[in-house]
Amino acid sequence: MEFNFLGRAFKGDKVIWCIFIALCIISLLEVFSATSTIAYRQQSHWAPILRHAAFLLIGFAVVMFLQRVPTRFFSTLLLGLPISAILLIFTMFMGQDVNGAQRWLGVGAFTIQPSEFAKISAIGFIAFFLSKMKPENESWIFKTLIIGIGAICALIAPENLSTACLLFGVSVMMLWIGQVKFKRLLKVGLSGAALVGLVLLCITLLPDKVVKDYFPDRLTTWKNRIERHSGEQEGTSIHDRKEDGTIAYKITDDNYQVSHAKIAIANGGVIGLPGSGVERDFLPQAYSDFIFAIVLEEMGLLGGLFVLLLYVALMIRCGVLASKCEKKFPRYLILGAGLILTIQALANMAVAVNLIPVTGQPLPLVSRGGTSTIITCAYFGIILACSSKLNDSDHEDVDESIANVDFETFDEANRI
């Protein structure tokens, strides 16, 4: 009886549910430990974790709601793209400046991050048009996708380049999975590579004064991060040679985050220091951007591998579920959600172990956050909803009220 009740309450794939619950538990444990500096400032031991738990609870409610939504209604994510674009434009001019970036928009006593809404809307946008693509309308659908994704990435990039690159990369992967002609994807890839190359050229070759005076403020930040990561920034050597010939590692303002992340990883060893980590008191953003370093310190290499395997398992399971979908729209939704969660997680982990420059990407569902936590839960809800109706007659491609469009007529008009 209890099993039947749980089966009715928790719909969708049970493996996805297990991954979701495991990540939530890890998040509560690690955020509770990593927010010691916030607890000290607020003079409340429980306030930071209660706030995070509240957002996880809201996210859980979102998952419970979305898992019961017929997948055809997710086509309404199309409407989210223009709304997200408007919010991103507002954020450029009226956003709240946090750590040198205007990524948040204040709504009363709350703040939201429009780029998170833009990402999930873009996944729905791509999935919708890929599900309607046929050989006779591929041309104009491809153009529509590139214009839509290009515009939203261009709006995100000035204040959050890493998110724009992440979204663009996932979008190209979805187009490839959606069997868009390789020639078209090659053109997009080369154009994107040329643009990124031009930006990198400007960042690395132009003098600091020129970049500061004539380019957006964030470009200076990107320049410093890239040079800091490559070790080419003048006057920031991290090693000092002592009189006896030994070499000492020097922590400076420029390598402070990365250095303490490395110390946290070294402290953790193989089995970790559960509840006894010390770098949470020194590492900036220990509860968000660098939470994986805290995971490695307190859970050790084994715990870090377990967290990594959870995201890998998520992507593999999404691939299995997508292969079982008879309809294209839910198939692409599952793959898009799985890709963006997994690649974002890998980016966060790569920053923590100093494989790539600091990006500011949170670890999905584990890092402390409001908008990001709820939107991540929404991805899980969408995956569960699609997996719960794989063989259901209600499992349609799109809502007819939105998608009853004569694509062949549009294609003919476009050719004319």
CA triplet 57, 61, 66: central angle to 5 degrees? 145
**Contact (Cβ atoms closer than 8 angstroms) between residue 163 and residue 361:** yes
Question: Residue 216 has what pLDDT?
Answer: 59
With a CB cutoff of 8 Å and minimum separation 6, the contacts of 190 are none
Q: In sequence order, what are the beta bridge partners of 112? A: 105
What is the C-alpha separation between 127 and 170, in angstroms, rounded? 12
Question: Residue 233 has what pLDDT?
Answer: 45
Amino acid at 78: L
Question: Residue 414 has what pLDDT?
Answer: 47
**Contact (Cβ atoms closer than 8 angstroms) between residue 283 and residue 294:** yes
Question: Residue 397 has what pLDDT?
Answer: 46
Question: Residue 223 has what pLDDT?
Answer: 62
Instruction: Answer whether residue 2 is part of any domain.
Output: no
Task: Return phi, psi of residue 413, to 5°.
Answer: -65, -35
Closest CA relative to residue 283, chosen from 258, 266, 301: 258
pLDDT in tens, 371-412: 899 999 999 999 999 988 764 544 444 444 444 454 444 454
DSSP string, 195-241: HHHHHHHHHHHS-HHHHHHHS-HHHHHHHHHHHHHHT-STT---EEE
pLDDT in tens, 158-212: 878 888 889 999 999 999 998 888 888 888 888 877 877 787 777 677 676 666 6
Instruction: Answer whether residue 369 is part of any domain.
Output: yes
CA distances from 29 to 275, 313, 372 (A): 9, 21, 18
Which structure tokens are listed for 222? 């990107």
Instruction: Answer whether residue 411 is part of any domain.
Output: no
> 300: phi > 0 → left, psi -120 to 50 → alpha, else beta; which?
left
- Three-state DSSP at 68 gives coil
| Residue located via tokens 């890929």 | 130
Question: Residue 343 has what pLDDT?
Answer: 95
Backbone CA torsion sign across 334, 339, 345, 346:
positive
CA triplet 328, 392, 120: central angle to 5 degrees? 45
**Contact (Cβ atoms closer than 8 angstroms) between residue 289 and residue 361:** yes
**Contact (Cβ atoms closer than 8 angstroms) between residue 66 and residue 378:** yes
Question: Residue 184 has what pLDDT?
Answer: 86
**Contact (Cβ atoms closer than 8 angstroms) between residue 215 and residue 204:** no
Domain span at 195: 11-233+256-391
Task: Return phi, psi of residue 58, to 5°.
Answer: -60, -45
CA triplet 37, 43, 44: central angle to 5 degrees? 90
Instruction: Answer whether residue 296 is part of any domain.
Output: yes
Instruction: Answer whether residue 69 is part of any domain.
Output: yes
How many separate domains does the chain show?
Answer: 1
Task: Return phi, psi of residue 240, to 5°.
Answer: -120, 135
What is the C-alpha separation between 349 and 121, in angstroms, rounded? 25
**Global pTM value:** 0.84
Which structure tokens are listed for 319? 């691939």
Instruction: Answer whether residue 314 is part of any domain.
Output: yes
pLDDT in tens, 253-262: 667 778 888 8
Instruction: Answer whether residue 105 is part of any domain.
Output: yes
Along the 416 residues of the chain, how does pLDDT read in single tens digits? 555 656 667 788 899 999 999 999 999 998 888 887 777 777 777 888 888 999 999 999 999 999 989 988 999 998 999 999 999 998 888 777 666 566 777 766 677 888 999 999 999 999 999 999 888 888 889 999 999 999 999 898 887 888 888 999 999 999 999 888 888 888 888 887 787 778 777 767 767 666 665 555 666 666 666 666 666 444 444 555 555 555 666 777 667 778 888 888 888 888 888 877 788 878 877 888 889 989 999 999 999 999 999 999 999 999 999 999 888 999 999 999 999 999 999 999 998 888 887 777 889 999 988 889 999 999 999 999 998 876 454 444 444 444 445 444 445 444 44
Instruction: Answer whether residue 35 is part of any domain.
Output: yes
